[in-house]
Amino acid sequence: MKTSYHFFAFDLGATSGRSLLAKIEDNTITFRELTRFPNKITKVHGQYHWNIFALFEALKDGLKAAVAQGLKIDAIGIDTWGVDFVYLGKDGCILSEPRCYRDPYTDGIPEEYFNVIPKKEVYEATGIQIMNFNSLYQLFAAKKEHSSALEAATGILFMPDALSYLLTGKKVCEYTIASTSQLLNPRTKTFESKLFEAIPLSSSLMQPIVMPGEVIGELTESIMKECGIGPVPVIAVAGHDTGSAVVAVPTDNENFAYLSSGTWSLMGIEVKDPIINEESFALNFTNEGGVNGTTRFLKNITGMWLLEQCRKEWESTGLQYSYEQIVNLSDTAEGFRSLIDPDHESFANPESMTEAIRAYCRRTAQEVPASHAEFIRCIFDSLALKYRKVLESLQQLAPFKIEKLHVIGGGSQNRLLNQSTANSIGIPVVSGPSEATAIGNIMMQAKGIGLVNALCDIRKMVRNSVEPEIFFPEDTLAWTEAYYRFSQILANKYEPLNIKL
C-alpha cells in the first residue's frame, strides 16, 4: 500500500514565481523549492503585458527539475493571481500576450460600463468589489479600443487555465479564478450573460467551469517527451492564489478572519453563502469562490506592492535590503510620523513610488519621509491601520464574532507588522504558514487524487505540518489615537500628527 505521495506545485505571483516539490506522508506535508524566477511586466507601445510563453518555459523548467529528483510525481497544480486572461484563436493558439491588470487602459472604464448596466446591478449580479482592473472592465476596454485579439478570439482562458491548457490541451475555467472576474454569478456559479451582452460579447467565449479538486487532464505527449516525465494528471486546484492560501489557514473553528499578505493584502472571512446586500455594496466587499462550496467574503487592500516598488528604486541605486534588514530598519524609525492610504489611486502604478508617497504626505500636511527607514515605517504603520479599518467593516457584515486574524503568505514572516496589526485591531494575530498558497495548492491536488476530502481534514493536516506564532495586542492607546488620525486623513481632514510610539 502506498504511504507517501509527491506533488508538483507551480505558484505564480504578480512579481515572481516558483515551482515546488511536496511530499505527503504520515498526515504531514513537507516541500522544497525547485526553481524561482521573476515575473516581469513588459511595456510595449504604452501597453503593459505578461510574457505567457516565458512563464510556460519556467513551468517546464520546474517540471524538469522535479524529474531530476528521481521521484514519481502524483499530480500537478497551478495557481496565479486573478482577473488577467489570454485570447484563443480558432486554431487553439494564444493570439496575444495577456494584458496586465496594472495597465491604465481600464482607467475610467467602470464608469463607462455603468452607463450600460448600473453599478448596483453589476454588484448584485456578481457580488464582486468594483475595481477598474476586473476582467469585466478589461474586456469592455479591449472592445472599446478594437483589440484585434479580442475580435479574432473564439475563447478566453484565465492565467492558471491558460498554463494548464498548454500542459494538457484541455480548455477549462477553474471556479475560484473565474470568480475574480466580475463575470460570474456566485449564486448560480455560472457566467452572467447580460454582463457580456452589454460589452457586447458572447459568454460562449468562456470555458466550462470546473471545481477545485477536479482533474483537468494528463500531460500531452509532447510535454512528457520534452520534460522526460510520465503521464501525470493536472488538477484544478484553487487557481486563484488567495483561494489556495485560504485552504491552508490552520484553524480549528470558523470564527476567524484571514489576511493573505503579499503583493496584495486580502482580508476576509469564509462563509457558506455569498453576502450581497446594501451594506456590502456600500463598503465594496467582494464574494469570491472558495473550495468545497465555500465563499471567500473579502476586500482587496494594496499590500507589499508599496514596499516592493520602493525596493526597486533603491536597488537601482545599488542598495539591496534583505527582508530582515527591512524589518530592522523600520524598527529604527519613529512610529506614526507619516501615514498614507495604501489604496489611494496614486499608488496603483506610479513611475516613482517614493515620490508618490512624498506627494501624498505633502498633500495631507504631514511630515515627508526622508530616509529609507521612514518610508518603510510609513508603509507598515499605514497597512496595520488600514487592516483595522477593513476588519471593523468586515465584522459589521460577518455572521459570527471574529475572534482572531490569521495572517498567511509571505507577509506573515514580518514579525513587526504582525505585532503592529495585533496592536491596531485589538485581537490576536496568528501568523503562518508563510507558504500558505503552495500548501493550499498541494492539498487540493491531494483532494484531486482522493487522498483527502473534507476541508476540516485538510486543515488538520496543515496544523500537523506548521507551527504558527501568536501576537497579542500591545500599546492599544497609542494605536487607537493613531487610528483616529488615520481616519481623518482618509476623510480628507488634514492636521499635523504628533503621536509617538
- Cite the active site residues: 241
Q: Pairing mode, if any, of strands 404-408 and 429-431? A: parallel
CA gap 88, 491 in Å, rounded: 45
The DSSP code sequence of 300-362 is: EEE-THHHHHHHHHHHHTT----HHHHHHHHHHSPTTSS---TT-GGGSS-S-HHHHHHHHHH
The residue to which cell 494575530 is assigned: 429
Q: How many CB atoms lie within 10 A of CB 68?
A: 10
Place of cell 506627494: 359
C-alpha cell at 401: 464574532
* Pairwise CA distance, residues 336 & 481, whole Å: 10
H-run or E-run covering 274 = none
Spatial distance between the Cα atoms of 478 and 486, rounded to a whole number of angstroms: 12
Q: Phi and psi at residue 28, in whole multiples of 5°?
A: -130, 155
Could you give the 3-state DSSP secondary structure of residue 215? Answer: strand
Three-state DSSP class for residue 297: strand
Is 452:218 a contact under the CB 8 Å cutoff? no
**Residue 47 β-bridge partners:** 44
Distance between terminal CA atoms of the chain?
59
SS3 156: strand
* Cell numbers that stand for 238 in this block: 484553487
3-state secondary structure 30-82: EEEEEEEEECCCEEECCEEECCHHHHHHHHHHHHHHHHCCCCCCCEEEEEECC
Report the alpha-carbon distance of residue 494 to residue 363 in Å, rounded.
9
Q: Distance between CA 476 and CA 271 in Å, rounded?
A: 30
C-alpha cell at 367: 511630515
The CA-atom distances, in angstroms, between 357 and each of 296, 343, 374, 482 are 31, 12, 11, 18
